[in-house]
Amino acid sequence: MPSIEYDDSKPSWADQVEEEGDEGTLPSPKETIKGNIKTITDYKIDEDDGKKYKIVRTFKIETRKASKAVARRKNWKKFGNSEFDAPGPNVATTTVSDDVNMTIISSKEDLNAQDQDEDPMNKLKGQKIVSCRICKGDHWTTRCPYKDTLGPMQKELAEQLGLSTGDKDKPAGSEPEPAQPAQSKTGKYVPPSLRDGSTRRGESMQPNRRGECECSLNFFLPHFTP
Amino acid sequence: MKPILLQGHERSITQIKYNREGDLLFSVAKDPIANVWYSVNGERLGTYNGHTGAVWCVDCDWDTKNVLTGSADNSCRLWDCQTGKQLALLNTSSAVRTCGFDFSGNIIMFSTDKQMGYQCFLNFFDLRDPQQIDDNQPYLTIPCSEHKITSAVWGPLGEFVIAGHENGEINQFSAKSGEVLKKVKEHSRQINDIQTSVDLTMFITASKDNSAKLFDSASLDHIKTFKTERPVNSAAISPIMDHVVMGGGQEAMEVTTTSTRIGKFEARFFHAAYEEEFGRVKGHFGPINCVAFHPDGKSYSSGGEDGYTRIHYFDPQYFDFELEA
């Protein structure tokens, strides 16, 4: 079976070549047949590195018995794009790939288990990344399934707790908001202007009525003296 | 096992087929060249040059004398297997999607796509009558107006053609009269590939509905189903074991990028009777488009979207493997 090895651990042949300086820079390819092992030695210069490579390909010559028709076909002359190919596999078209093994699946569960071990996402699932403020579940607060029921209840509880403990607490310390936003008990943000006790003064930009000129354009004409 | 990698195509493989003895493997792809290889060592024997568009299908007769190819260049061509010479050119009005020699090698069938205003047709030519070839007049043409044929094979004894359609239905078209002998709809989506068993009594269909199904050729009885999570592009029945092999795509999420030397797309082996998956073989860098068993069952090949064809000779463990029931 063909195999490719890069053998550049022995610089001696490259030095030899440089010393002798024969046939340009590369020695000619060699073919030797020992028993049923055929070894082809090729030399090439890699374009990117500029290094010289000696490529040794080993083939095992097998003699197989086959039916007459099959044997006849093995001796057909090559045609089409392979017309000028040498006998034997052409490197451009045929290579031996790396070893693959058939992974045996004894049961579907085993397969899933394998995937699970490799899956880092599953490792994260075990840890506590997100927790909901309302029900402490494995989701974000805004996505809580009990948003409508548990949410407002929790707000009220917090309110009551806040009002009752507010006197006892130090004023500089925790202040659980004595002035609760009146309009929203769902925990949504209410701007200061819309809260209870707001005057809403100075919030909106009113257009000028009665043509009041708050800003005027003053013209200073240049004074011409003859 | 050490697969042999065949790099003869520049575009994705569309179909691969062994000849009857299995010593030759034909491969065609979306580039215009059809290749033929010695399956024993992957050596390329030659190429059939002449098509000008993607080649969708290939078939070889029982004698390995003639090769038939169908292409998107609106032609179906007959070639001499040994020399690569083009023997006949049959022009069509739309792309040729499937083709095949019957059991005797005398009659060829091919189907054309529903394209550019032309319907899908199933054409039959008798090679013993040179007049048909010269005049480009098939002796029988069957129109399929509703859902085009996406895959077709000859049934036993050359009596009918089993065709799979775009909508998942399977029809038996008589090769003599052209009428529909039997029809069945077991798949819900397009049938991508149909392959017969070695003795032509059964066939397996690979469908976009994520399953492959085994049928009886004569009665179209649905015998077995093999389910996966992805569309199945191709399926084949082992000649000597109770196995089927299937090739298809893969969830993009499943493909990890740890190693670039071996591709992650897998061929999946199912036990034919228990309908359970027992093995997977990785290697392709893209979805597998076609799988085929060697007629002696000791090896199989797969052609992928990556343009490579891989020949795998099974390890001895494969033949000893028994599924625990």
Facing residue for B43 by CB, picked from A70, A94, A105: A94
Task: Taking residues B177-185, report their average pLDDT.
Answer: 92
Q: Which of B6, B281, B317 sits opposite A94 (nearest CB)?
A: B6
What is the pLDDT averaged over residues B6-24?
94
- Contact: A105, B321; criterion CB under 8 Å: no
**Are B175 and B161 contacting, i.e. CB atoms less than 8 angstroms apart?**
yes
Report the pLDDT value the prediction gives residue B47, as an integer from 0 to 100.
93
Is A80 close to B41, i.e. CB distance below 8 A?
no
pTM here is: 0.71
- Find the chain A residues whose C-beta atoms sit closer than 8 A to any C-beta of B: 1, 64, 66-67, 69-70, 73-74, 76, 78-83, 85, 88-90, 92-106, 108, 118
Can you tell me the mean pLDDT for B264-275?
89
| Chain B: closest CA distance from residue A7 (Å) | 21
Indicate whether A17 pLDDT > 70. no
A105/B277 Cβ within 8 A? yes
Query: Whole-number mean pLDDT of chain B?
Result: 91
- Classify burial at A156, counting beta carbons within 10 Å of its beta carbon; exposed 0-12, middle 13-18, buried 19 or more: exposed
- Is the per-residue pLDDT at B192 higher than 80? yes
pLDDT at site A147: 75
More confident: A212 or A139:
A139
Per-residue pLDDT tens digits for B62-86: 999 999 999 999 999 999 999 999 9
Cα separation values, A165 from A160, A169, B36, Å: 8, 6, 88
Kindly identify which residue of chain B lies nearest to residue A90, measuring between CA atoms.
B43
pLDDT, one tens digit per residue, over A72-115 is: 898 898 998 888 877 777 776 777 777 777 777 765 554 444 55
Using the Cβ of B8 and the Cβ atoms of chain A, whether some distance falls under 8 Å is answered with: yes
Sheet holding B24-29, edge to edge: B13-18, B24-29, B34-38, B44-48
Average confidence (pLDDT) over B38-51: 92
Q: Could A96 and B47 be called an inter-chain contact, meaning their C-beta atoms sit closer than 8 Å?
A: no
Q: What is the pLDDT of residues A121-154, one digit of tens each?
A: 656 665 667 788 887 777 888 887 777 777 677 7
Contact B282, A99 (CB under 8 A): no
Which of A127-136, B98-107, B112-121, B235-244 is least confident? A127-136
Q: A171 pLDDT band (50/70/90 cuts)? A: very low
Whose tokens are 């007459």? That residue is A68
Q: From the CA of B47, how many Å to the nearest CA of chain A? A: 5
Confidence of residue A169 (pLDDT cuts 50, 70, 90): very low
Q: Residue A43: is it exposed, middle or buried by C-beta count within 10 angstroms (0-12/13-18/19+)?
A: middle
pLDDT value at residue A123: 60
